[in-house]
A and B are shown apart, each in its own frame.
Chain A
Amino acid sequence: MSILSIKNLEKSYNGTKVLNIGELEIEAGKSFGLVGNNGAGKTTLFRLLLDLIQADKGEVLSKGVDVTKSEDWKLYTGSFIDEGFLIDYLTPDEYFQFIAGLHNMSTGDLEAALAGYEELFAGEIRGKKKYIRDLSKGNQKKVGIVGALLSNPDILILDEPFANLDPSTQFRLIDELQKINKETDITMLISSHDLGHVAKFCERIVVLDKGEIVKDIHTNSETLQELETFFIQKIKGGEVAEEATEQ
């Protein structure tokens, strides 16, 4: 059963079409990876899913309801796109308390949930007398991601969660996401530039190119190879095209 469905979604900026998706059904409980080069439309798609920008055409249905018509999706969707989601004058602890409060979590629930992320935090986030705005980019990202996970959402949307993180943290985050994916029936949507990371735990991978879906793969042992070939081909294809115009 699909939890998110996208129908005839189109978005243009200044006359250039940046996203054009005929139909995309995202199944409940599966992890969904989105890859593509810069400007392929990954963030645009995620912003449309979260009703942050207005589509020119088409609709996004979350549990069957148009996200622009009702706000109920907010109650079961956790998301982190960029620092524009963080309340920067709060300390991380206050931020988590705020999110927990919105979801009626008790202090005990919150502590239990956060205890699971101690390893990811590496002792740099909690209990420090520092505002979020004074944290490094990587640590801000950790706060945002954990904030999105905190309420045990049905849908999780993370844009480039691995960028700006140090290598150790990247591995920890992958472990964490894999664990959550296995243990709960969460639906994860994750975009990344790193093909390896996505291939590792996404059950389905969609490749966006210039706003269109060019590949839709159910992950298997050859997926990484297939993705790499695709992106290498893109460079070569680009070179061929350039040579053609030069002549």
Chain B
Amino acid sequence: MYITLLKHQWRKTTRSSFFRQGWGVKILMTIVALYFLASFGALGYFAKEILNQAFDEPAVLTPIFMGFVLYYLLVDLVMRFFLQDLTVLTVQHYLVLPIAKSKVINYLLGSSIFSFFNLLPLFLITPWAIRVVAVEQGPSDAVLWFLALLGFVFTNHFLAIYVKRVLAVNVKIFGAVALVVALAFLGDFMDWFSLTELSKSIFGPLGADPLLGLISFGLMALIYLVNFRFLLKMTHLDRWKVAAKEASSTRFSFLEQRGPLGLMMANELKLITRNKRTKTILWMTLFFSAYGLIFYTNPIYKDSISWLLFVGIFMTGIFLINYGQFLVSWESAYFDGILTRAYHMEEYYKSKYYLLAFSAVVMYVLTLPYGYFGMKAIYINTACFIYNVGVNTLVLIFASTYNKKPIDLSRGSAFNYQGTGAAQFLIIIPLMVVPMLMVYAFDLLWDGNYGLIFLAALGLIGILSRNYFIKQTVLNFQEKKYINAAGYRQRD
């Protein structure tokens, strides 16, 4: 039975859209994964040397190592929470078939441990167990120590998926977990208590007497049981149903009275404010408007005009780049409607232009307070703002005619690669690096400030000739629209 379920899972994975995605994304994701594995492996291997250096060659290292375990587990929990995938829907089709519910649930929980996030800590603790614990306490203790930590890793794993599952039903739990983790770090930072000492007192004895460490397996079993019972209760489909939220009645009357162009902009604002993934971008945008603080307060970057330019382009254009690179894909669910409604495509693309330009205006105003760090910040951000509106917006709009992957708006955005292709990552390069290089060249050969004037001039030219570029976009769109429409209709 478990074999059949495993087979289904395998097919689901190999036939999933992620697997069928272009090679670009696969290679990129593999590189990211290998990078993390290598980093963790190296950290685990050299932890001996690092700790020896930091603590002046103490007699035994393992207790010091144990002082960091709690930190690791807390960070791990948060990472898992945001990045680890959940298998939720797969259960549904087995419920009406003659398979014991407990089997399906055991399978669901059991198979979940084959996760990248469980492989990662192995790379950290295995070298330590071999190089340090085996030497300090003997090989048999090393094995026990390894198993004990493995138990904690899995406890974390099941805790994370439990919290994530509960969250699908009850949002408050998430708040509680976030609060506990945040308080733990805040308390440590403010010296109310020491996480290191706490970690030492909890995990220290386990390190000294690894048999005690097997308590971790008890914990794991406990949280597994909690998961099991929760899932058993949730096998009735109606329990999953989240009550449809009452529709928002926000209106953008100002825009809605401005003809088709305004109507389309109002619709797009509704799209952004009413869908989970676009809302995530909105929050990210606000969050990253503080990005400049890192650069303006750091003397290394303070005098480098090309780095500050990067920050300027990023801050005034973060929404534009993030949202703009999936332009039209956001609306893939009703693309046929877009193609047949009573407006000309030129109006449609104009509404996109004004929306993106408007976002840049908002971000420009939000970043004006950076003037506190000197007028230079204002000059840079102004040049970047004009460049974003005049050049980057038009580039993104033109690039959108090559989008053909549908996006499911209701999903969150972290590690959701739906609708992305390697081209989507490539687009960031010309948008950010090109202006940086241009200013760098000016800075090197002449004066960086002339570079700013040059960027602003390019932007102004773009703004003045926007209608020409939008027309070219529409011409290209008319050619590509059949392929795009076919792509957008392929929803899973």
Chain A residues engaging chain B, CB cutoff 8 angstroms: 50-54, 71, 74-75, 77, 79, 81-91, 94, 97-99, 101-103, 128-131, 134, 151
Residues of B within 8 A of A75 (CB): 342
> How many Å lie between the Cα of A129 and that of B245 in the bound state?
9
- Nearest neighbor of A98 in chain B, beta-carbon distance: B263
Question: Which one, A54, A85, A129, A134, contacts B336 given CB within 8 A?
Answer: A85
Kindly list chain B residues whose C-beta atoms are within 8 Å of the C-beta of A97: 256
- Taking a contact as CB atoms closer than 8 A, the residue among A84, A94, A129, A131 that contacts B334 in the complex is A84
Tell me, in angstroms, the Cα distance from A217 to B173 when the chains sit together: 65
Bound-state CA distance A129–B249 (Å) is: 8
CA distance A81 to B342 in the complex (A): 16
A103 to B343, CA, bound (A): 9
| Bound form: Cα–Cα A161–B428 in Å | 44
Partner of B340, one of A50, A83, A88, A129: A50
A54-B482, A87-B331 given; name 17 further pairs at CB < 8 Å.
A50-B336, A50-B339, A50-B340, A51-B340, A53-B486, A74-B341, A84-B336, A86-B334, A87-B267, A89-B274, A89-B275, A98-B263, A99-B342, A101-B256, A102-B341, A129-B247, A129-B249
**Candidate in B263, B409, B486 with the most chain A CB atoms within 10 angstroms:** B263
Bound Cα distance from A91 to B345, whole angstroms:
24
- Interface core residue of B256, B271, B334 (most chain A CB under 10 Å): B334
Interface of A is mostly: loop
Check A52–B336 contact: CB distance below 8 A: yes
Contact indicator per residue, chain B 255-272, by CB within 8 Å of chain A (1) or not (0): 010011001000100110
| Residue with the highest number of chain A CB atoms closer than 10 Å, among B267, B274, B335, B337 | B337
Contact B244 A134, beta carbon cutoff 8 Å: yes
With A98-B263, A101-B263 in contact, do A52 and B340 touch (Cβ < 8 Å)? yes
Known: A53-B486, A88-B333. A130 touches B342 (CB 8 A): no
Within 8 A of A (CB), among B466-491: 482, 485-486, 489
Q: 0/1 per residue, B103-134, Cβ < 8 Å to A?
A: 00000000000000000000000000000000
B contact residues around A82 at 8 Å (CB): 336
19 pairs of residues in contact across A and B, judged by CB atoms under 8 Å: A52-B336, A74-B341, A74-B344, A84-B334, A84-B336, A85-B336, A85-B340, A89-B271, A89-B275, A90-B267, A91-B247, A98-B267, A101-B256, A102-B263, A102-B341, A103-B342, A131-B244, A131-B247, A131-B274
Indicate whether B246 reaches chain A with its CB closer than 8 angstroms: yes
B261 to chain A, nearest CB (A): 10
Most chain A CB inside 10 Å of its own CB: which residue of B247, B263, B267: B247
Query: Do the beta carbons of A81 and B336 come within 8 Å of each other?
Result: yes
Residues B337 and A53 in contact, CB atoms below 8 Å apart: no
Chain A residues, CB < 8 A from B270: 89-90, 94
Are A86 and B337 in contact, with the CB atoms below 8 A? Answer: yes
On chain A, the residues within 8 Å of B343 by CB distance are 74, 102
Given contacts A84-B334, A85-B334, A85-B336, A53 and B267 within 8 Å (CB-CB):
no
Residues of A within 8 Å of B244, CB to CB, are: 130-131, 134
Interface residue total, chain B, C-beta cutoff 8 A: 31
Known contacts being A71-B344, A130-B244, is A52 close to B263, with CB within 8 Å?
A: no
Task: Name the distance in Å between A14's Cβ and chain B's nearest Cβ.
Answer: 12
Q: Which of B333, B340, B341, B343 has the most CB of A within 10 A?
A: B340
Smallest CB-CB separation from A90: which chain B residue?
B270
Which residues on the A side are within 8 Å of B334 (C-beta)?
Answer: 83-88
Task: Determine which of B246, B263, B489 lies in contact with A84 in the assembled complex, contact meaning CB atoms within 8 Å.
Answer: B489
B-chain residues with CB within 8 Å of residue A83 when the two chains form the complex:
334
Q: What's the least CB distance linking B404 to chain A, in Å?
A: 14
A89–B409 touching, CB < 8 Å: yes
- Chain B residue numbers with a CB within 8 Å of A54 are 482
B247 touches A130 (CB 8 A): yes
Q: Which of B329-356 contact A (CB under 8 A)?
A: 331, 333-337, 339-345
Contacts of B267 in A (CB 8 A): 87, 90, 98
B486 partner residues in chain A, CB cutoff 8 A: 53
With A52-B336, A88-B334 as given contacts, are A101 and B260 in contact (CB-CB < 8 Å)?
yes
- For residue B406, give the distance in angstroms from its CB to the closest CB of chain A: 10
Do the beta carbons of A52 and B485 come within 8 Å of each other?
yes
A52 touches B339 (CB 8 A): yes
Of the listed residues B267, B333, B341, the one surrounded by the most CB atoms of chain A closer than 10 A to its CB is B341
Q: Among the listed B246, B256, B275, B485, which residue makes an inter-chain contact with A53, where contact means beta carbons less than 8 Å apart?
A: B485
A contact residues around B263 at 8 Å (CB): 98, 101-102
Compute how far the CA of A186 lies from the CA of B263 in the bound complex, rounded to whole angstroms: 27
> What does the 1/0 interface line of B308-339 toward A look like (CB < 8 Å)?
00000000000000000000000101111101
B482 is contacted by which of A53, A103, A131, A151 (Cβ under 8 Å)? A53
Contacts of A102 in B (CB 8 A): 260, 263, 341-343
B337–A84 contact, CB under 8 A?
A: yes
| A94 / chain B contacts, CB cutoff of 8 Å | 270
Q: Which 9 A-B pairs have the closest CB atoms?
A: A85-B337, A134-B244, A54-B482, A84-B336, A129-B247, A101-B263, A89-B274, A129-B246, A102-B342
Pairwise interchain contact A79-B247, C-beta atoms closer than 8 A = no
Query: What residues of chain A lie closer than 8 Å to B256, measured between beta carbons?
Result: 97, 101
Q: How far is the CB of B293 from chain A (nearest CB, A)?
A: 34
Q: Which residues in A have their C-beta under 8 angstroms from that of B275?
A: 89
Q: Within the assembled complex, what's the spacing in Å between the Cα atoms of A83 and B336?
A: 9
Q: Is the CB of B345 within 8 A of A71?
A: yes
Tell whether A87 pairs with B337 under 8 Å between CB atoms, given A53-B486, A74-B342, A131-B274. yes
Question: Which of chain B's residues have a CB closer than 8 A to the CB of A77?
Answer: 340
Alpha-carbon distance A54/B345, docked complex (angstroms)? 17
Chain A minimum-CB-distance residue to B260: A102
Pick the most buried of A79, A98, A99: most chain B CB atoms within 10 A of its CB: A98
For A151, the chain B residues whose CB sits under 8 A away are 342
Compute how far the CA of A101 lies from the CA of B251 in the bound complex, rounded to whole angstroms: 14
Q: Give the distance in Å from the alpha carbon of A52 to the alpha carbon of B342 in the complex.
A: 14
Alpha-carbon gap, A88 to B260, bound state (A): 19
Q: How far is the CA of A52 from the CA of B482 in the complex (A)?
A: 6
A75: nearest residue on chain B (CB-CB)? B342
> Which residues of the other chain, B, contact A101 by a CB distance below 8 angstroms?
256, 259-260, 263
Complex: A75 Cα to B260 Cα, angstroms? 12
Q: How far is the CB of A226 from chain B (nearest CB, A)?
A: 33
* Cα distance, A83 to B335, chains bound together (Å): 10
